[in-house]
Chains A and B, each alone.
Chain A
Amino acid sequence: MTLPNPLKPNPLKPSHTKPLLDQQFLEIRCKILDLAAQLDRLTRGGEMAAIESDPKWILIQKGIALLGTNRPAKAQGVQELFSLCYDPNWPKPSPRF
Protein backbone atom coordinates (compact mmCIF):
# COMPACT_ATOMS: atom_id res chain seq x y z
CA MET A 1 0.00 0.00 0.00
CA THR A 2 1.33 3.44 -0.95
CA LEU A 3 2.21 5.65 1.99
CA PRO A 4 -0.14 8.61 2.38
CA ASN A 5 1.09 12.07 1.50
CA PRO A 6 1.62 14.02 4.72
CA LEU A 7 -0.94 16.76 5.21
CA LYS A 8 0.28 20.35 5.02
CA PRO A 9 -0.32 22.79 7.90
CA ASN A 10 -3.90 24.07 7.91
CA PRO A 11 -4.08 27.60 6.45
CA LEU A 12 -7.63 28.15 7.74
CA LYS A 13 -7.74 30.04 11.01
CA PRO A 14 -10.97 29.79 13.02
CA SER A 15 -12.59 33.07 14.04
CA HIS A 16 -11.82 34.55 17.47
CA THR A 17 -14.22 33.52 20.21
CA LYS A 18 -15.65 36.89 21.31
CA PRO A 19 -16.66 38.23 17.87
CA LEU A 20 -17.92 34.74 17.01
CA LEU A 21 -20.15 34.74 20.09
CA ASP A 22 -21.47 38.19 19.20
CA GLN A 23 -22.15 37.06 15.66
CA GLN A 24 -23.75 33.72 16.51
CA PHE A 25 -25.58 34.58 19.75
CA LEU A 26 -29.04 34.81 18.19
CA GLU A 27 -28.53 31.69 16.10
CA ILE A 28 -27.44 29.65 19.14
CA ARG A 29 -30.33 31.06 21.17
CA CYS A 30 -32.71 30.03 18.40
CA LYS A 31 -31.35 26.47 18.32
CA ILE A 32 -31.61 26.11 22.11
CA LEU A 33 -35.17 27.44 21.92
CA ASP A 34 -36.03 24.95 19.15
CA LEU A 35 -34.66 22.08 21.24
CA ALA A 36 -36.56 23.28 24.31
CA ALA A 37 -39.78 23.43 22.29
CA GLN A 38 -39.19 19.91 20.95
CA LEU A 39 -38.72 18.60 24.50
CA ASP A 40 -41.89 20.46 25.58
CA ARG A 41 -43.77 18.76 22.75
CA LEU A 42 -42.70 15.36 24.05
CA THR A 43 -43.80 16.34 27.57
CA ARG A 44 -47.18 17.62 26.39
CA GLY A 45 -47.83 14.17 24.92
CA GLY A 46 -48.34 13.16 28.56
CA GLU A 47 -46.56 9.83 28.29
CA MET A 48 -42.99 10.53 29.40
CA ALA A 49 -43.01 7.38 31.50
CA ALA A 50 -43.53 5.36 28.33
CA ILE A 51 -40.24 6.56 26.81
CA GLU A 52 -38.13 6.49 29.96
CA SER A 53 -36.27 3.36 28.87
CA ASP A 54 -36.49 4.03 25.12
CA PRO A 55 -32.89 3.95 23.76
CA LYS A 56 -33.63 7.00 21.59
CA TRP A 57 -34.71 9.07 24.60
CA ILE A 58 -31.69 7.90 26.59
CA LEU A 59 -29.40 8.94 23.72
CA ILE A 60 -31.05 12.37 23.55
CA GLN A 61 -30.52 12.88 27.27
CA LYS A 62 -26.88 11.83 27.00
CA GLY A 63 -26.44 14.18 24.04
CA ILE A 64 -27.87 17.13 25.94
CA ALA A 65 -25.65 16.31 28.93
CA LEU A 66 -22.58 16.19 26.66
CA LEU A 67 -23.23 19.77 25.51
CA GLY A 68 -22.95 20.97 29.11
CA THR A 69 -19.46 19.55 29.59
CA ASN A 70 -16.12 21.26 28.93
CA ARG A 71 -14.86 18.55 26.58
CA PRO A 72 -13.48 19.76 23.25
CA ALA A 73 -14.84 18.40 19.95
CA LYS A 74 -18.42 18.18 21.15
CA ALA A 75 -19.75 17.58 17.62
CA GLN A 76 -17.49 14.54 17.27
CA GLY A 77 -18.63 13.39 20.70
CA VAL A 78 -22.30 13.65 19.72
CA GLN A 79 -21.60 11.75 16.49
CA GLU A 80 -19.85 8.97 18.41
CA LEU A 81 -22.66 8.82 20.95
CA PHE A 82 -25.21 8.22 18.18
CA SER A 83 -23.06 5.51 16.51
CA LEU A 84 -23.28 1.71 16.60
CA CYS A 85 -20.41 -0.32 18.09
CA TYR A 86 -17.63 -1.64 15.85
CA ASP A 87 -15.96 -5.02 16.20
CA PRO A 88 -12.43 -4.98 14.69
CA ASN A 89 -12.59 -8.77 14.31
CA TRP A 90 -15.55 -8.77 11.95
CA PRO A 91 -15.24 -11.44 9.19
CA LYS A 92 -13.68 -9.60 6.23
CA PRO A 93 -14.02 -10.86 2.63
CA SER A 94 -10.75 -11.77 0.91
CA PRO A 95 -9.43 -9.96 -2.17
CA ARG A 96 -9.32 -12.10 -5.32
CA PHE A 97 -6.01 -11.54 -7.11
Chain B
Amino acid sequence: MNYIDPHIHMISRVTDDYHRMARCGCVAISEPAFWAGFDRGSADGFRDYFHHLVEVEPKRAAQFGIQHYSWLCINAKEAENVSLSRDVIALIPEFLTKPSVLGIGEIGLNKNTPNEATIFQEHMDLAMKTDELILIHTPHLEDKLKGTRMIIDMLKNDPRVKPHRVCVDHVEEHTVRLALDGGFWCGMTLYPTSKCTPSRAVDILEMVGLDRIMANSAGDWGKSDPLAVPELILEMRRRGHPESAIKKVVHDNPLEFFRQSSRWQEPALRNES
Protein backbone atom coordinates (compact mmCIF):
# COMPACT_ATOMS: atom_id res chain seq x y z
CA MET B 1 0.00 0.00 0.00
CA ASN B 2 1.25 3.50 -0.82
CA TYR B 3 1.78 5.53 2.32
CA ILE B 4 3.05 8.93 3.46
CA ASP B 5 5.21 9.45 6.55
CA PRO B 6 4.20 12.99 7.55
CA HIS B 7 6.92 13.41 10.18
CA ILE B 8 10.41 11.97 9.82
CA HIS B 9 13.88 13.51 10.21
CA MET B 10 15.71 12.07 7.23
CA ILE B 11 18.74 14.30 7.82
CA SER B 12 19.52 11.83 10.65
CA ARG B 13 18.91 8.69 8.61
CA VAL B 14 21.05 6.78 6.15
CA THR B 15 20.21 6.49 2.46
CA ASP B 16 19.39 2.80 2.95
CA ASP B 17 16.37 3.93 5.00
CA TYR B 18 14.98 5.77 1.95
CA HIS B 19 15.46 2.56 -0.01
CA ARG B 20 13.67 0.41 2.57
CA MET B 21 10.85 2.94 2.95
CA ALA B 22 10.32 3.04 -0.83
CA ARG B 23 10.21 -0.77 -0.92
CA CYS B 24 7.48 -0.67 1.74
CA GLY B 25 5.35 1.76 -0.31
CA CYS B 26 6.43 5.18 0.93
CA VAL B 27 5.59 7.77 -1.73
CA ALA B 28 6.09 11.00 0.24
CA ILE B 29 7.43 12.30 3.52
CA SER B 30 7.49 15.61 5.32
CA GLU B 31 10.44 16.61 7.45
CA PRO B 32 9.99 19.23 10.18
CA ALA B 33 12.93 21.30 11.42
CA PHE B 34 14.00 19.94 14.81
CA TRP B 35 16.70 19.77 17.47
CA ALA B 36 19.97 18.37 16.13
CA GLY B 37 20.94 16.74 19.43
CA PHE B 38 22.93 19.83 20.44
CA ASP B 39 22.17 23.55 20.68
CA ARG B 40 23.42 25.41 17.61
CA GLY B 41 25.59 28.45 18.21
CA SER B 42 24.26 30.87 15.61
CA ALA B 43 21.50 31.60 13.12
CA ASP B 44 23.92 30.68 10.32
CA GLY B 45 23.80 27.08 11.54
CA PHE B 46 20.06 27.16 10.91
CA ARG B 47 20.50 28.73 7.47
CA ASP B 48 22.66 25.75 6.48
CA TYR B 49 20.12 23.37 8.04
CA PHE B 50 17.22 24.96 6.12
CA HIS B 51 19.28 24.73 2.91
CA HIS B 52 19.75 21.03 3.62
CA LEU B 53 16.00 20.56 4.17
CA VAL B 54 14.85 22.36 1.03
CA GLU B 55 17.64 21.42 -1.41
CA VAL B 56 19.58 18.32 -0.34
CA GLU B 57 16.98 15.96 1.13
CA PRO B 58 14.48 16.34 -1.76
CA LYS B 59 17.20 15.15 -4.16
CA ARG B 60 18.19 12.24 -1.90
CA ALA B 61 14.53 11.19 -1.59
CA ALA B 62 13.90 11.54 -5.32
CA GLN B 63 16.42 8.76 -6.04
CA PHE B 64 13.86 6.38 -4.56
CA GLY B 65 10.73 7.97 -6.01
CA ILE B 66 9.84 9.60 -2.68
CA GLN B 67 8.50 13.15 -2.66
CA HIS B 68 10.18 15.18 0.10
CA TYR B 69 8.47 18.13 1.84
CA SER B 70 9.67 20.18 4.80
CA TRP B 71 8.64 22.53 7.60
CA LEU B 72 10.79 25.37 8.96
CA CYS B 73 11.26 26.85 12.43
CA ILE B 74 13.51 26.89 15.44
CA ASN B 75 12.49 23.94 17.60
CA ALA B 76 11.01 24.28 21.09
CA LYS B 77 14.18 23.17 22.87
CA GLU B 78 16.41 25.85 21.33
CA ALA B 79 13.53 28.37 21.59
CA GLU B 80 14.61 28.85 25.20
CA ASN B 81 17.21 31.19 23.67
CA VAL B 82 14.88 34.04 22.66
CA SER B 83 17.51 36.17 20.93
CA LEU B 84 18.75 33.31 18.73
CA SER B 85 15.15 32.30 18.03
CA ARG B 86 14.26 35.76 16.74
CA ASP B 87 17.29 35.72 14.42
CA VAL B 88 16.21 32.32 13.08
CA ILE B 89 12.56 33.34 12.64
CA ALA B 90 13.80 36.33 10.61
CA LEU B 91 15.58 33.89 8.25
CA ILE B 92 12.54 31.76 7.50
CA PRO B 93 10.70 33.96 4.94
CA GLU B 94 13.51 33.67 2.36
CA PHE B 95 12.99 29.88 2.34
CA LEU B 96 9.19 30.07 2.12
CA THR B 97 9.45 30.54 -1.64
CA LYS B 98 10.70 26.96 -2.06
CA PRO B 99 7.98 24.71 -3.49
CA SER B 100 8.67 21.82 -1.12
CA VAL B 101 8.13 23.84 2.07
CA LEU B 102 4.70 23.08 3.54
CA GLY B 103 4.72 25.60 6.38
CA ILE B 104 6.01 26.45 9.85
CA GLY B 105 7.01 23.55 12.11
CA GLU B 106 7.58 21.71 14.24
CA ILE B 107 7.00 24.57 16.65
CA GLY B 108 5.73 23.89 20.14
CA LEU B 109 6.77 23.51 23.74
CA ASN B 110 9.42 21.33 25.36
CA LYS B 111 9.51 22.08 29.12
CA ASN B 112 6.54 24.49 28.95
CA THR B 113 8.59 27.60 29.84
CA PRO B 114 7.62 31.26 29.32
CA ASN B 115 10.41 31.70 26.73
CA GLU B 116 9.17 28.70 24.74
CA ALA B 117 5.63 30.14 24.80
CA THR B 118 6.89 33.54 23.60
CA ILE B 119 8.70 32.00 20.63
CA PHE B 120 5.74 29.73 19.86
CA GLN B 121 3.55 32.82 19.59
CA GLU B 122 6.12 34.62 17.41
CA HIS B 123 6.22 31.64 15.03
CA MET B 124 2.42 31.78 14.90
CA ASP B 125 2.60 35.50 14.11
CA LEU B 126 4.87 34.69 11.15
CA ALA B 127 2.62 31.85 9.99
CA MET B 128 -0.45 34.07 10.11
CA LYS B 129 1.34 36.89 8.27
CA THR B 130 2.55 34.57 5.51
CA ASP B 131 -0.55 32.32 5.48
CA GLU B 132 1.33 29.10 6.29
CA LEU B 133 0.20 25.74 7.59
CA ILE B 134 1.45 24.97 11.11
CA LEU B 135 2.88 21.70 12.48
CA ILE B 136 3.08 21.52 16.27
CA HIS B 137 5.36 19.45 18.49
CA THR B 138 3.79 18.61 21.85
CA PRO B 139 6.14 17.85 24.77
CA HIS B 140 7.26 14.45 25.97
CA LEU B 141 6.15 12.27 28.87
CA GLU B 142 5.01 14.10 32.04
CA ASP B 143 5.08 17.49 30.26
CA LYS B 144 2.76 16.44 27.42
CA LEU B 145 -0.70 16.97 28.92
CA LYS B 146 0.14 20.35 30.46
CA GLY B 147 2.03 21.47 27.33
CA THR B 148 -0.70 20.39 24.94
CA ARG B 149 -3.26 22.33 26.96
CA MET B 150 -1.01 25.40 26.94
CA ILE B 151 -0.53 25.11 23.16
CA ILE B 152 -4.27 24.82 22.56
CA ASP B 153 -4.81 27.81 24.87
CA MET B 154 -2.46 29.85 22.66
CA LEU B 155 -4.09 28.64 19.43
CA LYS B 156 -7.56 29.50 20.73
CA ASN B 157 -6.29 32.82 22.05
CA ASP B 158 -5.37 33.89 18.50
CA PRO B 159 -8.48 34.66 16.40
CA ARG B 160 -6.44 34.44 13.17
CA VAL B 161 -5.79 30.72 13.60
CA LYS B 162 -7.87 28.38 11.42
CA PRO B 163 -7.86 25.01 13.21
CA HIS B 164 -8.05 22.98 9.98
CA ARG B 165 -4.68 24.51 8.97
CA VAL B 166 -2.94 23.29 12.14
CA CYS B 167 -1.68 19.79 13.00
CA VAL B 168 -1.06 18.99 16.67
CA ASP B 169 1.52 16.21 16.63
CA HIS B 170 2.60 13.44 19.03
CA VAL B 171 -0.92 13.05 20.47
CA GLU B 172 -1.57 10.09 22.77
CA GLU B 173 -4.55 8.72 24.70
CA HIS B 174 -4.80 11.72 27.03
CA THR B 175 -4.33 14.49 24.42
CA VAL B 176 -5.92 13.27 21.19
CA ARG B 177 -9.39 14.57 22.03
CA LEU B 178 -8.02 17.98 23.04
CA ALA B 179 -6.75 18.36 19.48
CA LEU B 180 -9.73 16.86 17.64
CA ASP B 181 -12.35 18.66 19.73
CA GLY B 182 -10.60 21.95 18.93
CA GLY B 183 -11.03 21.23 15.21
CA PHE B 184 -7.30 20.67 14.64
CA TRP B 185 -5.61 17.88 12.71
CA CYS B 186 -3.50 15.56 14.80
CA GLY B 187 -0.61 13.14 14.40
CA MET B 188 0.26 10.01 16.37
CA THR B 189 3.97 9.27 16.60
CA LEU B 190 4.97 5.61 16.58
CA TYR B 191 8.08 5.73 18.69
CA PRO B 192 9.59 3.36 21.22
CA THR B 193 9.21 4.05 24.96
CA SER B 194 8.22 7.71 24.94
CA LYS B 195 5.28 7.92 22.53
CA CYS B 196 2.78 5.52 20.85
CA THR B 197 3.27 1.90 19.87
CA PRO B 198 1.50 0.78 16.67
CA SER B 199 -0.99 -1.22 18.80
CA ARG B 200 -1.88 1.76 20.98
CA ALA B 201 -2.19 3.97 17.91
CA VAL B 202 -4.76 1.57 16.42
CA ASP B 203 -6.57 1.53 19.80
CA ILE B 204 -6.77 5.33 19.56
CA LEU B 205 -8.14 5.11 16.01
CA GLU B 206 -10.78 2.64 17.22
CA MET B 207 -11.75 5.14 19.92
CA VAL B 208 -11.73 8.47 18.02
CA GLY B 209 -12.24 7.50 14.36
CA LEU B 210 -10.40 8.31 11.17
CA ASP B 211 -11.04 12.00 10.56
CA ARG B 212 -8.26 14.59 10.86
CA ILE B 213 -5.75 12.05 12.17
CA MET B 214 -2.52 10.62 10.76
CA ALA B 215 0.43 8.52 11.92
CA ASN B 216 4.16 9.07 11.62
CA SER B 217 7.46 7.52 12.62
CA ALA B 218 9.27 10.70 13.69
CA GLY B 219 12.37 8.67 12.81
CA ASP B 220 15.44 10.62 13.89
CA TRP B 221 18.91 10.21 15.44
CA GLY B 222 17.47 8.42 18.50
CA LYS B 223 16.14 4.90 18.78
CA SER B 224 13.31 5.01 16.27
CA ASP B 225 11.89 3.05 13.36
CA PRO B 226 11.62 4.66 9.90
CA LEU B 227 9.28 1.79 8.96
CA ALA B 228 6.88 2.43 11.84
CA VAL B 229 4.02 3.47 9.54
CA PRO B 230 4.11 0.09 7.72
CA GLU B 231 3.97 -1.50 11.20
CA LEU B 232 0.72 0.41 11.81
CA ILE B 233 -0.60 -0.83 8.46
CA LEU B 234 0.16 -4.42 9.51
CA GLU B 235 -1.51 -3.94 12.90
CA MET B 236 -4.67 -2.54 11.29
CA ARG B 237 -4.75 -5.48 8.87
CA ARG B 238 -4.18 -7.95 11.72
CA ARG B 239 -7.28 -6.56 13.41
CA GLY B 240 -9.30 -6.91 10.21
CA HIS B 241 -9.81 -3.22 9.49
CA PRO B 242 -10.71 -2.42 5.88
CA GLU B 243 -8.02 -1.35 3.40
CA SER B 244 -9.96 1.86 2.74
CA ALA B 245 -9.68 2.81 6.43
CA ILE B 246 -5.94 2.07 6.47
CA LYS B 247 -5.38 4.11 3.30
CA LYS B 248 -7.28 7.04 4.78
CA VAL B 249 -4.98 7.19 7.81
CA VAL B 250 -1.63 6.57 6.12
CA HIS B 251 -2.15 8.29 2.77
CA ASP B 252 -5.34 10.26 2.18
CA ASN B 253 -5.37 12.21 5.45
CA PRO B 254 -1.81 13.56 5.26
CA LEU B 255 -2.41 14.42 1.60
CA GLU B 256 -5.61 16.30 2.49
CA PHE B 257 -3.73 18.30 5.12
CA PHE B 258 -0.70 19.02 2.89
CA ARG B 259 -2.91 20.11 -0.05
CA GLN B 260 -3.88 23.19 1.93
CA SER B 261 -0.35 24.58 1.54
CA SER B 262 -0.25 27.54 -0.85
CA ARG B 263 2.80 26.07 -2.62
CA TRP B 264 1.46 22.53 -2.88
CA GLN B 265 2.33 20.70 -6.10
CA GLU B 266 0.54 17.43 -6.70
CA PRO B 267 3.14 14.64 -7.05
CA ALA B 268 2.92 12.15 -9.89
CA LEU B 269 0.96 9.15 -8.62
CA ARG B 270 2.70 5.81 -8.40
CA ASN B 271 0.55 2.88 -9.47
CA GLU B 272 -0.30 0.38 -6.75
CA SER B 273 1.16 -3.02 -7.59
A and B, one complex? yes
**Residues of chain A at the chain B interface (Cβ within 8 Å):** 1-5, 7-15, 73, 75-76, 79-80, 82-86, 88, 90-97
Which B residues lie within 8 Å of A14 (CB)? 206, 239
B233 to chain A, nearest CB (A): 14
- Tell me whether A95 and B209 are in contact in the complex, defined as CB-CB below 8 angstroms, given that A1-B159, A1-B163, A12-B245 are known contacts: no
Determine chain A's interface SS by DSSP, over half rule.
loop
Chain B, interface size category, equals 35 or more
Determine chain B's interface SS by DSSP, over half rule.
helix
Residue of B nearest to A27 (CB): B199
Tell me whether B212 is interfacial, beta carbon within 8 Å. yes
Is B125 within 8 A of A4, CB to CB?
no
Expressed in whole angstroms, the Cα–Cα distance for A97 and B157 within the complex equals 12
Give the number of A-B contacts (CB < 8 Å): 109
Is B157 within 8 A of A95, CB to CB?
yes
- Cβ-defined partner of B203 (8 Å) among A75, A84, A88: A75
Is B242 within 8 A of A11, CB to CB?
yes
Is B174 within 8 A of A83, CB to CB?
yes
Residue of B nearest to A96 (CB): B125
Residue of B nearest to A80 (CB): B174
Residue of B nearest to A89 (CB): B153
Is A75 within 8 A of B210, CB to CB?
no
Which B residues lie within 8 Å of A92 (CB)? 117, 150, 153-154, 157
Is B146 within 8 A of A84, CB to CB?
yes
